[in-house]
Amino acid sequence: MGSVIFDIETIGLPIEAFDEVQREYILKFADTDEKREAELQKLALSPLTAQVVAIAMINPETMGGRVFFQSPEADHFFSDDDKVEFISGTETDILRHFWSAIQKYDQFITFNGRGFDCPFLMIRSAMLDIRPTRNLVPYRYDSAVHCDLLEQLTFYGATKRFNLDFYCKSFGIRSPKSEGVSGLDVDPLFRAGRYADIARYCLGDVIATAELFRRWQNLLNIR
C-alpha cells in the first residue's frame, strides 16, 4: 500500500517508578545535582525507562495520516488542512493503533528510526505484552523496506551524522524546531497537560522528514 513515514516522542518514567536497586543503578554515577539531572533526562532514551507519548504517521505522497498521542482525556481532532487525524488514548492504545496501521504499508521511512524509534517501539510493546505486526529492524541495507534517512544521508555511517534540525536547515527545509519546541520540551509539556502540543510537534517532525525524503529521492534519480 505504498510508504509511510513515522516518528515517536518519548518521556522518561518518574524515578519513583523504579525500585531501590534500579534507582541505585540509574544514579550510581550521579554524584552531583547536575549529573543527577543529566541521568534523569537520559531515561527518555530507553524503552526500559521511558514511555511513548506520541506517534505520528503520514503518507509522503498524499501528506495525509494520523497522530496517536497520550492524553487522560478523550480527544479527537484534525489538522487545519483536514489531512491528518489526531487520536488520543493511553500508551497501550497508541501502540496498538500503530501496529494496526504499519502492517498495511510496503515501506516505512524514518529519521534515525533504526537507532531509536524502531527498537524502542518493539521493546516497549513487548514490555506491555503487545504483539508487533512486523519487524521494524529488517536487513539494514535494504531501504526498500525500511528507509532510515540518517543511514542513507550518511551512506551507512561513511560521513558525519547530524540531527534532523541540522539537516533541515542545511537543505532549506522548515525545521520542526522553528516553532520553539524541541525534544527536551516534551517532558515538561506532558507534565503541563499540553498533550495536543506534543502531538503537533511530532507531526512537524514527520512533515520535515517527508520533505527530506523527497530530496533524497531526487538524489537517487541521478543517472
Confidence (pLDDT) at 180: 72
Domain 3-220: which CATH number of 3.90.1010.10, 3.40.50.1000, 3.30.420.10, 3.40.718.10: 3.30.420.10
Distance between start and end Cα atoms, the chain: 27
Cα separation, 120 vs 27, whole angstroms: 22
Cα separation, 150 vs 148, whole angstroms: 6
pLDDT at 1 over 60: yes
Q: How confident is the model at residue 221 (pLDDT cuts 50, 70, 90)?
A: low
Residue 142 burial by Cβ neighbours in a 10 Å radius (0-12, 13-18, 19+): exposed
pLDDT (tens digit per residue) in 44-65: 999 999 999 999 999 999 999 9
Looking up cell 524546531 gives: 177
pLDDT at 163 over 60: yes
Between 1 and 107, the higher pLDDT residue: 107
